[in-house]
Amino acid sequence: MARYGADEFVVLLHETTESELKDLASKIELEVAMGNQASKRQYLLSVSMGYALYDPTQCTDAMAFMAHIDASMYAQKRSKLGNRG
């Protein structure tokens, strides 16, 4: 796990499956939700994630792969913002 940007982090997994990747994303979301419930802060933390298995036929280099994941994260973020209210 490494910090990628101001509020962006990257988790690299070696030899994982789509199912394991989705399970990890669910566990991260659960931990954030549990932290919010246990917190006495006046604000809640949220997380939006983009994730994918690397496919060299889809993304030819690391920058293209990161752009693909970034687009996935922003799609999730838009979806969450659309569900507010």
Confidence bin at 79 (pLDDT 50/70/90)? confident
Distance CA 39, CA 36 (A): 5
In the prediction, which pLDDT does 83 show?
67
Beta bridge partners of 3: 9
**pLDDT at residue number 37:** 92
Between 39 and 85, residue with greater pLDDT = 39
Please list, in sequence order, all residues whose beta carbon lies within 8 angstroms of the beta carbon of residue 3, skipping any fewer than 6 positions away. 9, 10
- What is this structure's pTM? 0.78
Residue 16: count other Cβ atoms within 10 Å of its Cβ: 12
Confidence of residue 19 (pLDDT cuts 50, 70, 90): very high
**Per-residue pLDDT at 7:** 86
